[in-house]
């Protein structure tokens, strides 16, 4: 009887030992499991230099792109296309350039900073005349800018701000420029023009339609005839020396997608 009892006790002890070993092995295997790849994924930061007039549309696109590519951090540098082009020419660390003027973009293609095959004419825009919404204005057309009662008007600095260059070109074509040049208050970019008008510091301003649409403090009085100025085209391209070419290429392709194009149209850009 005692021998049988010892045998049973020994067998039970052996079974308990086997079960304990099995549990430890399972625990070890669980602890060896790798964390989800997304948690270990290295973040890549891309710098995008873009025309100031693109800010609202690009903010919306940035949010949508981030949902699909959480590993990519988009950093935007907004300003006048001419100033941005000069920064890139001088070696600023930029991955993608989104210009409001073809000539500024073409300078970077000609200098080799952007490969021709890595650039595309992406969207278009229109030029409009705006006045402060809260003030009664005598301005009903571009020609009214020449009236003596109109004290100041604002446009972007033509040499560095494409919208300002288009505005001057259009006013010259309308034979109005020579009568309004002395009234012009120049701005560093199109958003500053809009601000001058919103605050009533000037009686009128010429901006892109996309900028006018986002403001509830201005009224659009007239749209410039496209035949009075160079076509307003926004080209985008990858900087040749980008340290993250493949990631930039992916974002560059996304900007051409149907999803991104819808956002641009929602913000007033033309996509044809």
Question: Does residue 187 have a known ligand-binding role?
Answer: no
Flag whether pLDDT at 17 surpasses 70.
Answer: no
Do 132 and 145 belong to one domain?
Answer: yes
Same domain, 105 and 135: no
C-beta of residue 99 within 8 angstroms of C-beta of residue 51: yes
Average pLDDT, the chain: 89
- Does residue 81 have a known ligand-binding role? yes
For residues 194 and 166, membership in a common domain is answered with yes
Is 63 assigned to a binding site? no
> What's the total number of domains in the chain?
2
Same domain, 133 and 112: no
CATH of residue 148's domain is 3.40.190.10
pTM reported for the whole predicted model: 0.79
Please tell me whether residues 220 and 238 are part of one structural domain: no
**Co-location of 159 and 240 in the same domain:** no
- Answer yes or no: is 208 a known binding residue: yes
Q: Is residue 66 domain-shared with residue 78, that is, in the same domain?
A: yes
Q: How confident is the model at residue 106 (pLDDT cuts 50, 70, 90)?
A: very high
Residue 3 has pLDDT above 50, yes or no: no
In a domain, 16, yes or no: no
> pLDDT per residue over 5-14, tens digit each?
444 445 445 5
Is 257 labelled a binding residue?
no
In a domain, 271, yes or no: no
**Domain range holding 209?**
127-228
The answer to whether residue 11 is domain-embedded is no
């Amino acid at each position: 009887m005692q021998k049988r009892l010892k045998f049973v006790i020994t067998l039970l002890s052996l079974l308990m030992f086997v079960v304990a070993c099995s549990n430890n092995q399972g625990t070890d295997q669980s602890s060896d499991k790798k964390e989800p790849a997304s948690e270990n994924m290295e973040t890549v930061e891309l710098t995008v230099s873009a025309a100031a007039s693109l800010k609202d549309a690009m903010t919306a696109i940035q949010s949508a792109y981030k949902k699909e590519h959480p590993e990519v951090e988009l950093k935007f540098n907004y300003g006048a296309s001419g100033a941005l082009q000069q920064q890139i020419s001088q070696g600023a660390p930029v991955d993608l350039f989104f210009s409001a003027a073809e000539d500024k973009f073409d300078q970077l293609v000609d200098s080799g900073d952007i490969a021709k095959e890595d650039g595309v004419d992406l969207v278009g825009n229109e030029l409009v005349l705006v006045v402060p919404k809260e003030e009664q204005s005598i301005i009903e057309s571009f020609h009214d800018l020449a009236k003596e009662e109109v004290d100041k008007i604002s446009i972007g600095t033509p040499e560095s701000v494409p919208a300002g260059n288009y505005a001057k070109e259009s006013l010259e074509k309308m034979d109005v420029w020579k009568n309004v040049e002395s009234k012009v208050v120049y701005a560093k970019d199109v958003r500053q023009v809009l601000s001058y008008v919103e605050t009533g510091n000037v009686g009128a301003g010429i901006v892109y339609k996309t900028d006018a649409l986002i403001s509830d403090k201005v009224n659009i009085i007239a749209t410039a005839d496209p035949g009075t100025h160079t076509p307003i085209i926004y080209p985008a391209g990858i900087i040749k020396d980008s340290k993250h070419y493949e990631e930039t290429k992916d974002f560059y392709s996304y900007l051409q997608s149907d999803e991104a194009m819808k956002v641009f149209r929602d913000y007033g850009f033309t996509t044809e």
